[in-house]
């Protein structure tokens, strides 16, 4: 699953890597969350373009968005059958530039966040599916979901799902929607190779969307993790007594 991610590479470097014609200038983001606008690279009229879309796919056939589940991820195993994704996988594929993402692992009864990134430090492109939702008053909203796959042997230690990342050599193949066939892109929807990604524990400050700074990426020690766990215990007990289990803030997995 992917419920938070990071974009820290310079805009010029991402433009060179993904090859879109626009020249957007945007600040680094250290805690990108669902429902926020995120960059998506797509193919249109024979060229790659940069678009901002809401993270959380909304199919065109949805009548009332308020009553529809937030689709931040799309399972690779079922995208050809699920009504929300079966058209997008054929005609609306994109790439989301990123430099890593966060995952949470339960340790000693609490969720410990980890920052996951390419071992070589290079930026990456998440496989994405997008749709444009049209409202009853003529409004339009571009929305997107990140494709996920079953985790490989190494990343499975953190979570059983991982975002699908498309290598630079396969960008063209993933973005090519000139035909209606998907056989060529199905092999791309797999987990990263073992050893391709590295990770380290980070502060639980990342749990709050309002926190968006470079300190979120810093590794924390076992002593710091223990201190955070101790500080969180009284608050956790109070919330449980008042309102039951708290949501982890990672959004919904479809």
Rg (Cα) of the chain, in Å, rounded? 19
Per the structure block, which two tokens stand in for 46? 């024979």
Residue 103 annotated to the active site: yes
Q: Are 129 and 46 in contact (CB under 8 A)?
A: no
Q: Which residues contact 144 (CB under 8 A, 6 or more apart)?
A: 38, 40, 53, 54, 55, 56, 57, 94, 96, 128, 129, 130, 131
What 3-state DSSP class applies to 217? helix
Burial class from Cβ neighbours inside 10 Å (0-12, 13-18, 19+) for residue 107 reads: exposed
Number of CB atoms found within 10 A of residue 70's CB = 19
Q: Which of 2, 131, 139, 172 is catalytic?
A: 2
Residue 181 annotated to the active site: no
Q: Which residue matches tokens 């931040």?
A: 72
Q: Which of 44, 77, 103, 172 is catalytic?
A: 103
Rounded to whole angstroms, the maximal C-alpha distance in the chain is: 57
Please name which of 142, 148, 131, 128 lies closest in space to residue 54, comparing C-alpha atoms.
142
Number of CB atoms found within 10 A of residue 29's CB = 17
CA 132, chain centre distance (Å): 18
Half-sphere exposure of 217 (CA within 13 A, CB side): 19
Annotated catalytic residues are 2, 103
């Amino acid at each position: 699953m992917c419920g938070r991610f990071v974009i820290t590479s310079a805009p010029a470097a991402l433009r060179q890597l993904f090859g879109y014609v626009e020249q957007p200038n945007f600040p680094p983001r250290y805690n990108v969350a669902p429902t926020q606008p995120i960059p998506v690279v797509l193919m249109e009229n024979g060229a790659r373009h940069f678009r901002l879309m809401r993270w959380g796919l909304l199919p065109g056939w949805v009548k009332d968005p308020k009553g529809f589940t937030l689709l931040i991820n799309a399972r690779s195993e079922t995208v050809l059958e699920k009504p929300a994704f079966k058209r997008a996988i054929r005609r609306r594929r994109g790439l989301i530039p990123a430099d890593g993402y966060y995952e949470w692992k339960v340790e000693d009864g609490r969720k410990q966040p980890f920052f996951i990134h390419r071992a070589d430090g290079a930026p990456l492109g998440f496989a994405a599916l997008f749709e444009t939702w049209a409202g009853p008053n003529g409004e339009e909203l571009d929305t997107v979901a990140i494709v996920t796959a079953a985790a490989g042997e190494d990343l499975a230690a953190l979570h059983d799902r991982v975002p699908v990342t498309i290598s630079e050599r396969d960008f063209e193949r993933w973005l090519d929607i000139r035909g209606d066939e998907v056989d060529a892109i199905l092999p791309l929807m797999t987990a990263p190779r073992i050893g391709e990604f590295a990770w380290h524990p980070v502060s639980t400050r990342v749990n709050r969307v309002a926190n968006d700074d470079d300190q979120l990426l810093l590794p924390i020690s076992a002593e710091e993790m223990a201190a955070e766990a101790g500080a969180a215990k009284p608050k956790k007990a109070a919330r449980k007594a008042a309102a039951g289990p708290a949501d982890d803030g990672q959004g919904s997995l479809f």
